[in-house]
Homo-oligomer: A and B are copies of this chain.
Amino acid sequence: MPAFEPQDPDFEARVRASFAKQKLMKTIGASVTKVSPGEVEIELPFRKDLTQQHDFLHGGIVATIVDTACGYAALSLMPVGSAVLTIEYKVNFVSPATGKRLIARGHVAKPGRIVTVCAGDVYAVSDGKEKLVATMLTTMMALRDRADVSG
């Protein structure tokens, strides 16, 4: 993965401020644990009220945290005044989401002025070991200087 040069030196504060506005992240108990240029990590402790019918963490929540990590990875490289929107994503679920907590890591695969392609993975952590749970490929879009949306 190449190193990226952020256009906004305050990219981390911008990402964290936008994340703090996502009420869903608070609802599910997710937090940002790392912000680098083009790379963001989100953690989610396992919670029973987020499970599906087999008592695994619901795939939709697994996808939600890695989509969010990818979106902020894209935003971290965008200029001041940008907002990020997810155009689409594709996610494969490769193991049941169990364990104590999940870690989602999203990174920019190809930045662009309008369209940024990101990829990400989710790992289940138990006893200090990480196991791959899901992998995502996604397309993000930058909106510029819009009054209605930011971050």
Chain A interfacial positions (CB closer than 8 Å to B): 18-19, 21-24, 26-27, 48-54, 58-61, 63-65, 67-68, 83, 85-95, 109-110, 112, 114-115, 117, 119, 132, 135-137, 139, 141, 148-151
Neighbour of A137 across the interface among B51, B95, B135, B141, CB < 8 A: B135
> Secondary structure at chain A's binding surface: helix, strand, loop or mixed?
mixed
CB within 8 Å for A61 and B139 given contacts A18-B53, A86-B93, A93-B88? no
Q: Which residues of B contact A61 (CB under 8 A)?
A: 24, 60, 64
Q: Is the CB of B54 within 8 A of A149?
A: yes
Q: Which residues of B contact A93 (CB under 8 A)?
A: 85-88
Query: 14 interchain pairs (CB within 8 A)?
Result: A22-B58, A24-B58, A60-B65, A64-B64, A87-B139, A88-B88, A88-B90, A88-B91, A88-B92, A88-B93, A89-B90, A92-B137, A92-B139, A114-B141
